[in-house]
Amino acid sequence: MRADSRPTFVLIHGGSSNARAWGPLQNELALLGYRSLAVDLPGHGDFADTPAAYYQQPQDVTALAAAPSALRGVTLQDNVRHVVDILRRLAASGQIVLVGNSLGGLTISAVANAVPELLDRVVYLSALCLSDPGMLDEAWDVADDNLLDAAVARIAVPGVRDPGVVRLNWRAAHADPDVFAALKAAIMADSTDHQFRLLLDSLDPDETYSAMEPGALVRADAWGRVPHTYVRHSADRSLPLAVQDHMIRAADALTPHHPFDVHTLEASHVGYFSRPQVFAELLTSLV
C-alpha cells in the first residue's frame, strides 16, 4: 500500500549535468511540502570520476584529453536499470512523478516504457521526447535555430580517446568573456552572471549520446499509459520552441486519445535553476 498521497518528484538531469543542478528546485519543492530525489545517472555527478586535469589551474588540455572517462561504454539501458532500481525502492512510499530536462528526456521515456506501473506522471521540462524511428537518424522538418551547437564547439576538447564520449571544458568559459556570454545566451539567458557561474561549476565535462537509440522511442502501449506533461520553455535557445512543439505533435500523433498535457513557461533551457520557484509551483500544481 502506498503511504503518502503527495508524490515524490524524481529528477533526471540533462547532458553534461548531474543531480546538483536540481538543488534550487528541490529547495523550493521542500518549501511547498514535497519530497524530491535528484538522480546522478551512471558516469555523472558522484559517479563521474572527473579527470583531475579538469580542475587544475592552469589547465593542461593535453592531459585533459588523455584522461579516461567514466562514461565509456555507458548505455541507455544502464540509465534505465539505475533509475528503475531507485523507483522500486520508492514505490512503497507514495506516488512518483518522473521529471527530466534536455537529454534526460530520453531516459525518462525509456523508464516509462519499462515500468509504467511505477509512475503516476512523467514530465518533460524542455526535454527530448522521440516517438518515431526517423527522429533518430533523419533530418527533422523543423527550423532548429539553436545557439548551443556553436557555443559548445568552442569548448570541445579535441583528441578524447574514449569512443562515443564528448568532453566539454565548461571551466574555460570563466577565462573567456565571449565564450561565457555565448554559453549563457544558449543555456540560461534568464539568469544572472553569478547564477550561471554556479551552474557552470556544477557541470560534468563528459557526455555520451548513446541514449539516442531505438530504446528511447516512446511506446503507446507502455509510456502512453502514463499521464505525461510537456513544459514548453518559450525562451529556450538550446532546444528551441519549434523543436519542442515538433516533438509534442509527433508524440500526440502516436497516442491521439492520450495527448500531452502542455504548459508554457517563459524560461531558458535550464530555467528551473534560475527560476526554481516558478517551476516548483507548476510541478506541484500538476498533482
Per residue in 22-32, is it b (16+ CB within 10 Å) or e — as a string? bebbbebbeee
> Rounded mean pLDDT of 235-247?
98
CATH number of the CATH domain containing 211: 3.40.50.1820
For residue 16, the enclosing domain spans 8-285
* 209 is a domain residue: yes
pTM of the model: 0.96
* 1 is a domain residue: no
In this structure, the number of other CB atoms found within 10 A of the CB of residue 194 comes to 7
* 19 is a domain residue: yes
pLDDT band at 276 (very low <50, low <70, confident <90, very high): very high
> Rounded mean pLDDT of 243-263?
97
* 122 is a domain residue: yes
* 42 is a domain residue: yes
Segment among 48-57, 118-127, 169-178 with least mean pLDDT = 48-57
- Quote the cell numbers at residue 75: 548505455
**% of residues, the chain, pLDDT over 90:** 95
Strand ranges, E, within the chain? 8-12, 35-39, 96-102, 121-127, 165-167, 206-208, 228-233, 261-265
> What pLDDT was estimated at residue 2?
47
> What pLDDT was estimated at residue 4?
59
* 250 is a domain residue: yes
Tally of domains within the chain: 1
Match 564547439 to its residue by C-alpha cell: 153
By the 10 Å C-beta count (0-12 exposed, 13-18 middle, 19+ buried), 251 is classed as buried
> What pLDDT was estimated at residue 279?
98
* 121 is a domain residue: yes
Q: What is the mean pLDDT of the chain?
A: 96
> What pLDDT was estimated at residue 1?
34
Give the phi and the psi of residue 23 in degrees, each rounded to 5: -50, -50
* 2 is a domain residue: no
